[in-house]
Amino acid sequence: MGSKKNKHIEESGQTKPVNENTANEETEETLGESQNQRIIDTGIVATNAKHAIHCLTVIGQIEGHYILPPQNKTTKYEHIIPSLVAIEQDPDIEGLLIILNTVGGDVEAGLAIAELIAGMKKPTVSIVVGGGHSIGVPLAVSAKQSFIVPSATMTIHPVRMNGLLLGIPQTLSYFDRMQERIINFVTRNSGISASRFKELMMKKDELVMDVGSVVDGDTAVKEGLIDNLGGLSDAVECLYEMIESEEGEKKSSRRKKASKKHSNNSNISKNKIEPNIDEQRAVSLLNMICSGDIVYENGKFITAGGKD
Protein backbone atom coordinates (compact mmCIF):
# COMPACT_ATOMS: atom_id res chain seq x y z
CA MET A 1 0.00 0.00 0.00
CA GLY A 2 2.94 2.28 0.78
CA SER A 3 4.39 1.71 -2.75
CA LYS A 4 1.06 2.70 -4.38
CA LYS A 5 0.99 5.90 -2.36
CA ASN A 6 4.54 6.79 -3.39
CA LYS A 7 3.73 5.98 -7.04
CA HIS A 8 0.71 8.28 -6.92
CA ILE A 9 2.84 11.13 -5.60
CA GLU A 10 5.50 10.60 -8.27
CA GLU A 11 2.93 10.47 -11.09
CA SER A 12 1.18 13.60 -9.96
CA GLY A 13 4.49 15.46 -9.94
CA GLN A 14 2.94 18.13 -7.75
CA THR A 15 4.69 19.70 -4.79
CA LYS A 16 2.93 21.58 -2.01
CA PRO A 17 3.86 25.26 -2.24
CA VAL A 18 5.22 26.97 0.87
CA ASN A 19 2.88 29.72 1.98
CA GLU A 20 4.85 32.56 3.65
CA ASN A 21 1.75 33.87 5.44
CA THR A 22 1.18 30.45 6.99
CA ALA A 23 4.80 30.30 8.18
CA ASN A 24 4.54 33.77 9.71
CA GLU A 25 1.30 32.88 11.45
CA GLU A 26 2.89 29.74 12.91
CA THR A 27 5.88 31.78 14.13
CA GLU A 28 3.62 34.39 15.72
CA GLU A 29 1.54 31.66 17.33
CA THR A 30 4.69 30.05 18.77
CA LEU A 31 5.90 33.41 20.11
CA GLY A 32 2.46 34.11 21.54
CA GLU A 33 2.41 30.77 23.36
CA SER A 34 5.93 31.42 24.65
CA GLN A 35 4.97 34.86 25.95
CA ASN A 36 1.79 33.54 27.56
CA GLN A 37 3.79 30.83 29.32
CA ARG A 38 6.27 33.49 30.46
CA ILE A 39 3.44 35.54 31.93
CA ILE A 40 2.05 32.46 33.70
CA ASP A 41 5.47 31.41 35.01
CA THR A 42 6.92 34.76 36.05
CA GLY A 43 4.31 37.49 35.73
CA ILE A 44 6.81 39.57 33.73
CA VAL A 45 5.01 40.98 30.71
CA ALA A 46 7.50 43.50 29.27
CA THR A 47 10.67 42.03 27.79
CA ASN A 48 12.53 45.34 27.16
CA ALA A 49 11.63 47.15 30.39
CA LYS A 50 14.00 49.26 32.45
CA HIS A 51 13.83 46.74 35.30
CA ALA A 52 12.40 43.22 35.55
CA ILE A 53 9.37 43.39 37.84
CA HIS A 54 6.79 40.75 38.70
CA CYS A 55 3.13 41.76 38.47
CA LEU A 56 0.94 39.98 41.04
CA THR A 57 -2.83 40.44 40.78
CA VAL A 58 -5.20 40.00 43.72
CA ILE A 59 -8.70 40.01 42.28
CA GLY A 60 -12.21 38.89 43.16
CA GLN A 61 -12.53 37.08 46.47
CA ILE A 62 -9.66 35.72 48.58
CA GLU A 63 -10.19 31.97 48.76
CA GLY A 64 -8.92 30.35 51.92
CA HIS A 65 -9.72 27.10 53.70
CA TYR A 66 -13.03 26.59 51.88
CA ILE A 67 -13.53 26.27 48.11
CA LEU A 68 -15.84 28.96 46.77
CA PRO A 69 -18.49 28.34 44.08
CA PRO A 70 -17.14 28.06 40.52
CA GLN A 71 -18.91 31.22 39.35
CA ASN A 72 -16.91 33.32 41.85
CA LYS A 73 -13.76 35.08 40.66
CA THR A 74 -11.16 34.12 43.25
CA THR A 75 -7.53 34.51 44.26
CA LYS A 76 -6.32 31.27 45.83
CA TYR A 77 -3.83 31.71 48.64
CA GLU A 78 -2.23 28.32 47.96
CA HIS A 79 -1.19 29.73 44.56
CA ILE A 80 -0.05 33.14 45.80
CA ILE A 81 2.12 31.92 48.69
CA PRO A 82 4.56 29.77 46.63
CA SER A 83 4.69 32.55 44.01
CA LEU A 84 5.85 35.01 46.67
CA VAL A 85 8.53 32.58 47.85
CA ALA A 86 9.75 32.12 44.26
CA ILE A 87 9.81 35.91 43.65
CA GLU A 88 11.87 36.52 46.79
CA GLN A 89 14.45 33.92 45.74
CA ASP A 90 14.67 34.69 42.01
CA PRO A 91 17.67 36.97 41.30
CA ASP A 92 16.24 37.93 37.88
CA ILE A 93 13.18 39.58 39.46
CA GLU A 94 14.09 43.00 40.87
CA GLY A 95 10.77 44.11 42.34
CA LEU A 96 7.12 43.21 42.93
CA LEU A 97 4.04 45.18 41.82
CA ILE A 98 0.77 44.10 43.46
CA ILE A 99 -2.45 45.19 41.73
CA LEU A 100 -5.56 44.86 43.94
CA ASN A 101 -9.22 44.81 42.99
CA THR A 102 -10.77 42.58 45.63
CA VAL A 103 -13.98 42.40 47.65
CA GLY A 104 -12.14 40.67 50.53
CA GLY A 105 -12.58 37.11 51.63
CA ASP A 106 -10.97 34.67 54.07
CA VAL A 107 -9.39 36.67 56.91
CA GLU A 108 -6.58 34.27 57.81
CA ALA A 109 -5.68 33.60 54.16
CA GLY A 110 -5.57 37.35 53.45
CA LEU A 111 -3.45 38.04 56.53
CA ALA A 112 -1.08 35.21 55.59
CA ILE A 113 -0.49 36.72 52.15
CA ALA A 114 -0.13 40.23 53.64
CA GLU A 115 2.44 39.08 56.21
CA LEU A 116 4.52 37.38 53.51
CA ILE A 117 4.53 40.53 51.35
CA ALA A 118 5.44 42.70 54.35
CA GLY A 119 8.34 40.36 55.17
CA MET A 120 9.94 40.50 51.70
CA LYS A 121 13.34 42.17 51.25
CA LYS A 122 12.76 43.00 47.59
CA PRO A 123 11.13 46.34 46.70
CA THR A 124 7.32 46.04 46.74
CA VAL A 125 4.63 48.47 45.62
CA SER A 126 0.85 47.97 45.75
CA ILE A 127 -1.85 49.83 43.85
CA VAL A 128 -5.60 49.63 44.55
CA VAL A 129 -7.80 49.90 41.47
CA GLY A 130 -11.54 49.45 41.63
CA GLY A 131 -11.67 48.39 45.26
CA GLY A 132 -9.63 47.04 48.13
CA HIS A 133 -12.34 46.03 50.56
CA SER A 134 -12.37 44.16 53.88
CA ILE A 135 -9.24 41.96 54.13
CA GLY A 136 -8.02 43.79 51.01
CA VAL A 137 -7.05 46.68 53.31
CA PRO A 138 -4.17 44.75 55.01
CA LEU A 139 -3.10 43.49 51.58
CA ALA A 140 -2.98 47.06 50.26
CA VAL A 141 -0.79 48.35 53.10
CA SER A 142 1.53 45.32 53.19
CA ALA A 143 3.84 46.65 50.46
CA LYS A 144 6.70 49.05 51.21
CA GLN A 145 4.85 51.75 49.24
CA SER A 146 1.11 51.81 48.51
CA PHE A 147 -0.90 53.65 45.85
CA ILE A 148 -4.60 54.08 45.15
CA VAL A 149 -6.32 55.54 42.09
CA PRO A 150 -8.76 58.42 42.80
CA SER A 151 -11.84 56.39 41.79
CA ALA A 152 -11.04 53.35 43.94
CA THR A 153 -12.73 52.70 47.30
CA MET A 154 -11.87 50.73 50.43
CA THR A 155 -14.45 49.30 52.83
CA ILE A 156 -13.41 49.09 56.48
CA HIS A 157 -15.71 47.01 58.70
CA PRO A 158 -15.50 44.65 61.71
CA VAL A 159 -14.77 40.94 61.31
CA ARG A 160 -17.85 38.94 60.41
CA MET A 161 -18.55 35.27 59.71
CA ASN A 162 -21.17 33.37 57.74
CA GLY A 163 -22.93 30.22 58.90
CA LEU A 164 -24.00 28.89 62.28
CA LEU A 165 -22.46 30.65 65.30
CA LEU A 166 -22.77 30.05 69.02
CA GLY A 167 -23.95 33.16 70.84
CA ILE A 168 -21.56 32.78 73.77
CA PRO A 169 -18.83 35.06 75.21
CA GLN A 170 -16.06 32.87 73.79
CA THR A 171 -17.26 33.53 70.21
CA LEU A 172 -17.23 37.29 70.77
CA SER A 173 -13.80 37.06 72.38
CA TYR A 174 -12.51 35.15 69.33
CA PHE A 175 -13.84 37.87 67.01
CA ASP A 176 -12.22 40.58 69.13
CA ARG A 177 -8.82 38.89 69.02
CA MET A 178 -9.02 38.38 65.26
CA GLN A 179 -10.02 42.00 64.82
CA GLU A 180 -7.06 43.14 66.92
CA ARG A 181 -4.72 41.17 64.66
CA ILE A 182 -6.02 43.08 61.65
CA ILE A 183 -5.83 46.46 63.40
CA ASN A 184 -2.28 45.82 64.60
CA PHE A 185 -1.11 44.80 61.14
CA VAL A 186 -2.72 47.79 59.39
CA THR A 187 -1.43 50.36 61.88
CA ARG A 188 2.05 48.78 61.85
CA ASN A 189 2.29 49.03 58.06
CA SER A 190 0.55 52.36 57.42
CA GLY A 191 0.27 55.87 58.84
CA ILE A 192 -3.17 55.56 60.41
CA SER A 193 -3.56 55.29 64.18
CA ALA A 194 -5.30 52.37 65.87
CA SER A 195 -7.96 54.61 67.42
CA ARG A 196 -8.83 56.24 64.09
CA PHE A 197 -8.94 52.88 62.28
CA LYS A 198 -11.31 51.51 64.95
CA GLU A 199 -13.45 54.62 64.61
CA LEU A 200 -13.80 54.08 60.85
CA MET A 201 -14.45 50.37 61.44
CA MET A 202 -17.30 51.00 63.90
CA LYS A 203 -18.98 53.89 62.11
CA LYS A 204 -22.77 53.38 62.26
CA ASP A 205 -24.32 55.88 59.83
CA GLU A 206 -22.62 55.04 56.52
CA LEU A 207 -23.33 51.41 55.54
CA VAL A 208 -26.93 50.20 55.19
CA MET A 209 -26.53 46.55 56.22
CA ASP A 210 -23.39 46.79 58.34
CA VAL A 211 -21.25 49.09 60.47
CA GLY A 212 -18.09 50.52 58.97
CA SER A 213 -16.85 53.05 56.42
CA VAL A 214 -16.21 53.34 52.71
CA VAL A 215 -13.28 55.64 51.87
CA ASP A 216 -12.28 56.78 48.40
CA GLY A 217 -8.72 57.22 47.13
CA ASP A 218 -8.24 60.80 48.29
CA THR A 219 -9.66 60.09 51.77
CA ALA A 220 -7.54 56.93 52.16
CA VAL A 221 -4.38 59.00 51.57
CA LYS A 222 -5.50 61.83 53.89
CA GLU A 223 -6.26 59.30 56.67
CA GLY A 224 -2.75 57.83 56.30
CA LEU A 225 -4.09 54.44 55.28
CA ILE A 226 -2.46 54.59 51.82
CA ASP A 227 0.84 56.33 51.07
CA ASN A 228 0.17 57.90 47.66
CA LEU A 229 -2.62 58.89 45.30
CA GLY A 230 -1.69 57.92 41.75
CA GLY A 231 -2.00 55.58 38.81
CA LEU A 232 -0.04 52.76 37.25
CA SER A 233 2.80 54.90 35.89
CA ASP A 234 3.32 56.46 39.34
CA ALA A 235 3.45 53.04 40.99
CA VAL A 236 5.90 51.65 38.40
CA GLU A 237 8.13 54.73 38.64
CA CYS A 238 8.17 54.44 42.43
CA LEU A 239 9.15 50.79 42.16
CA TYR A 240 11.96 51.66 39.71
CA GLU A 241 13.29 54.29 42.15
CA MET A 242 13.26 51.77 45.01
CA ILE A 243 15.12 49.22 42.88
CA GLU A 244 17.77 51.77 41.83
CA SER A 245 18.14 53.02 45.40
CA GLU A 246 18.70 49.47 46.61
CA GLU A 247 21.29 48.89 43.87
CA GLY A 248 23.11 52.08 44.95
CA GLU A 249 23.17 50.91 48.57
CA LYS A 250 24.58 47.53 47.52
CA LYS A 251 27.35 49.19 45.48
CA SER A 252 28.21 51.50 48.39
CA SER A 253 28.32 48.51 50.76
CA ARG A 254 30.63 46.62 48.39
CA ARG A 255 32.97 49.64 48.17
CA LYS A 256 33.11 49.93 51.96
CA LYS A 257 33.92 46.23 52.28
CA ALA A 258 36.66 46.49 49.64
CA SER A 259 38.16 49.54 51.38
CA LYS A 260 38.11 47.79 54.75
CA LYS A 261 39.74 44.70 53.24
CA HIS A 262 42.49 46.86 51.67
CA SER A 263 43.11 48.59 55.03
CA ASN A 264 43.37 45.24 56.83
CA ASN A 265 45.84 43.97 54.20
CA SER A 266 47.97 47.10 54.72
CA ASN A 267 48.05 46.53 58.48
CA ILE A 268 49.04 42.91 57.94
CA SER A 269 51.91 44.02 55.65
CA LYS A 270 53.16 46.49 58.26
CA ASN A 271 53.05 43.82 60.93
CA LYS A 272 55.09 41.57 58.71
CA ILE A 273 57.78 44.25 58.15
CA GLU A 274 58.29 45.10 61.84
CA PRO A 275 59.54 41.64 62.88
CA ASN A 276 62.11 41.84 60.06
CA ILE A 277 63.45 45.13 61.51
CA ASP A 278 63.65 43.59 64.99
CA GLU A 279 65.54 40.60 63.60
CA GLN A 280 68.09 42.88 61.92
CA ARG A 281 68.67 44.75 65.19
CA ALA A 282 69.13 41.50 67.09
CA VAL A 283 71.65 40.18 64.55
CA SER A 284 73.58 43.47 64.65
CA LEU A 285 73.63 43.43 68.47
CA LEU A 286 74.80 39.83 68.51
CA ASN A 287 77.63 40.60 66.09
CA MET A 288 78.77 43.54 68.25
CA ILE A 289 78.78 41.33 71.37
CA CYS A 290 80.76 38.62 69.59
CA SER A 291 83.32 41.12 68.28
CA GLY A 292 83.75 42.64 71.73
CA ASP A 293 82.53 46.09 70.73
CA ILE A 294 79.93 46.04 73.54
CA VAL A 295 79.65 44.22 76.88
CA TYR A 296 76.74 43.62 79.25
CA GLU A 297 77.32 44.96 82.81
CA ASN A 298 74.93 45.86 85.65
CA GLY A 299 71.87 45.27 83.49
CA LYS A 300 73.11 47.49 80.66
CA PHE A 301 74.90 47.13 77.35
CA ILE A 302 78.01 49.37 77.29
CA THR A 303 80.68 49.85 74.72
CA ALA A 304 84.13 48.52 75.27
CA GLY A 305 85.27 52.11 75.95
CA GLY A 306 82.88 52.35 78.93
CA LYS A 307 80.07 54.53 77.43
CA ASP A 308 76.41 53.51 77.53
- Where in the sequence numbering do the catalytic residues fall? 134, 157
Torsion, Cα 157 161 167 169, to 10 degrees, reads -60
Cα distances (Å, whole numbers) of residue 225 to 22, 173, 182, 302: 54, 26, 13, 85
Q: Quote the strand ranges of 149-274, DSSP E.
A: 153-156, 213-216, 228-229
**Burial environment of residue 228 by CB neighbours within 10 A (0 to 12, 13 to 18, 19 or more):** middle
Rounded distance between C-alpha atoms, residue 93 and residue 180, angstroms: 34
Q: Torsion over CA of 181, 183, 188 and 191, rounded to 10 degrees?
A: 170
Element (H, E) at 186: helix 169-188
